[in-house]
Structure 1
Amino acid sequence: MMEKYIDNEQESVNKTFKGEKKKLSQMTFGQKLEYIFEYYKVHMIIALIVLIVLGWCIHHAMTYVQYKFYGMVINSDQYSTEVEAQMHDILGMEKHDGFSITADLYTDDTANMGGYGNKLDIYVMAGQMDFAFADEEGVEHMVQLGAIRDIKDTAPADILKLWQDQGRLYNMEVTDDDGVTGSYDVAVDISDSPIHEYFGLDENTKYLMVADLSGSEEYLERFYELLYKLEIGE
């Protein structure tokens, strides 16, 4: 007759479990808690750590934000935070894509120095600028950095024609790295416009520039759609 196989490891587990169950049944509630904590606290701590890590991973997967579109306010700290909060939905952004406006950035180094230099320049070098509101000094500073694109190269035909017809494009002579000088529409005058009012800018912040440093063409297109609707009163 074939000898019956016995799983000694499983048998040991069963006996241990039965023994623990019997031992616990003879204890008071307080004794049970003390016993469990004394002999299983390492297991409990490990289980708790696993649950915390798992919970964090789930929370992160549900709530993380990757910023894809950036605005700036240069030489001012005034803008509408309410509009900023709504821009994600206005631009029809994906769930985990983010939008931010950074203000309180200045062209004056003495007012804007961080640990690694001028904070405004650092944001630009990091590619965190797709559009910016600024005064004339801010426009000139951004042009000198080479961060600004010609409005004619980015604006859709409808809003570009509107700005051209109203004479609102801000033109500058710019010399490139090869020493070639050209005339470029580096900004648009938004003073006394619905755009200025909508974004809650102060009276010195008169210009809008476009840089498109993040390369989020889809969101830039939707941003222009918003601007056009504001301009025509929709």
Structure 2
Amino acid sequence: MKKLGSMSFGKKIEYIFDYYKFHIIGVVVALVLIFSVVGTLLNNKPLGFYAMLLNAQGSGFSTEEKVLEARFADMAGIDGSEKVVIDTTATYNPNVNSQFNMAENAKITALFASHDLDALVIDPGVFTYYALNGAFTDLREVLSEDEFGKYESENRIYYIDGAIREKMKSLDAADIDATSLSAEESGIQEKTVSGQADNASKEAEVNQDSDNISGGNSVNENTESKNSKNSDDESTTDVESLNQNAAETLDEMEQFAADLMGTPDVVAREDFMLPDPEKMEKPIPVGIIVTDVKLLSENGYFERTVPVFGVPVVSDRKELAVKFLQFLEEC
């Protein structure tokens, strides 16, 4: 101690490190391991809520995701034992064929499949793309009568036509049936050809000395072959006609849906028109327009398009999705 007392500060540090460097290194390594384990445990918390703002790009974002997540967790009463995720960077356009776009679609599909996605805010074109595939809940099932009436009076409810969705499902089923029928017809044709070959082989073994009988058999074989060919041609024509009609009808339905509710692309704000439920056979309210809500407008989200809020039908936390809607409007 006397020796340390007579040393300068720099010499003291050097002396201590020389004699205790292994102890110091051990303490540092232990602290790193502790922080690493704690960080891993925190990041592996069970998911308490997942929201996605899809295609939300703007000129600049002022609030970080972590801040939004903490604020919503506090507002919704989600304690620290569960993880809250608000993804504001995801993008997807069904019309773009790229590796990045396919990866984003795979990510969204996985979230739907695992029932982890609780709330979606999307531009109207891509929203309709998902809605026509049955992705969103009827809002009358998750909102109270007063809440639904409020949004309806403000003309903010986004409808899709359930009749279109049902017809598109039936057309998909028709495509599958047509494919199965085509395969079945191919099998029948193969059996017919095989049967004809067997018959020809057997007839070759029959008495070949009688020219009249052989000639008669030849005529009969030609007649049967023509009849079989005509039958096969008619079956093939029927299958092709069914496939063509199904494809044409599907194209017409997709075009009708596009004309009514927008193409599956990012719709510019100035080009947006709210779908009119009066023109629909079975109007279903699946979305809420959230263009002017405070959180989105103040942070520059969806500057170039119209954001639509929806609750995924697979969500197991729909009550939290409704709270997230309130969070968007109030915070």
**TM-score interval (norm. to shorter):** 0.5 to 0.7
Shift of 1:95: 0.5
AA aligned opposite 2:287? A
CA gap 1:198/1:87 in 2 versus in 1, 3 angstroms: farther
Structure 1 counterpart of 2:197: none
Structure 2 counterpart of 1:189: 289
Name the SS of the counterpart of 1:172 in structure 2. Answer: strand
Structure 2 gap segments, 5+ residues each:
1-14, 172-280
Work out whether residues 190 and 206 of structure 1, in 8 Å CA contact, stay in contact via their aligned partners in 2.
yes
Work out whether residues 106 and 112 of structure 1, in 8 Å CA contact, stay in contact via their aligned partners in 2.
no
Shift of 1:50: 6.9
Alignment partners' CA distance in 2, 1:95 and 1:74: 26
Structure 2 counterpart of 1:81: 63
Are residues 1:68 and 2:48 paired?
yes
Name the SS of the counterpart of 1:141 in structure 2. Answer: helix
Name the SS of the counterpart of 2:96 in structure 1. Answer: helix
AA aligned opposite 2:56? S
Shift of 1:55: 5.1
Which structure shows the higher strand fraction? Answer: 1
Structure 2 counterpart of 1:130: 118
Question: Structure 2 matches for 1:193-204, cutoff 5 A?
Answer: 193-194=293-294, 196-197=296-297, 200-201=300-301, 202-204=303-305
Structure 1 counterpart of 2:144: 156
Shift of 1:137: 0.7
Work out whether residues 142 and 319 of structure 2, in 8 Å CA contact, stay in contact via their aligned partners in 1.
no
Alignment partners' CA distance in 2, 1:224 and 1:192: 13
TM-score normalized with structure 2 length: 0.46
Shift of 1:141: 1.5
Shift of 1:118: 4.6
AA aligned opposite 1:103? T
Structure 2 counterpart of 1:94: 79
Larger radius of gyration: 2
Alignment partners' CA distance in 2, 1:221 and 1:173: 23
Percent of residue pairs identical: 16
Work out whether residues 53 and 121 of structure 2, in 8 Å CA contact, stay in contact via their aligned partners in 1.
yes
Are residues 1:216 and 2:200 paired?
no
Shift of 1:53: 4.5
Question: Structure 2 matches for 1:28-39, cutoff 5 A?
Answer: none
Structure 1 counterpart of 2:227: none
| 1:79-133 CA distance string (max 9 Å, x none) | 6635624222222211132232233412245376339x25135324323532222
Work out whether residues 132 and 160 of structure 2, in 8 Å CA contact, stay in contact via their aligned partners in 1.
no
Question: Structure 2 matches for 1:102-121, cutoff 5 A?
Answer: 102-110=88-96, 113-114=99-100, 117-121=102-106
CA gap 1:52/1:129 in 2 versus in 1, 3 angstroms: same
TM-score normalized with structure 1 length: 0.61
CA gap 1:224/1:48 in 2 versus in 1, 3 angstroms: closer
Which structure shows the higher helix fraction? Answer: 2
Work out whether residues 124 and 147 of structure 1, in 8 Å CA contact, stay in contact via their aligned partners in 2.
no
Shift of 1:193: 4.7
Shift of 1:54: 5.0
Name the SS of the counterpart of 1:107 in structure 2. Answer: coil
Work out whether residues 131 and 212 of structure 1, in 8 Å CA contact, stay in contact via their aligned partners in 2.
no
CA gap 1:210/1:60 in 2 versus in 1, 3 angstroms: same
Name the SS of the counterpart of 2:89 in structure 1. Answer: strand
Structure 1 gap segments, 5+ residues each:
1-28, 38-43
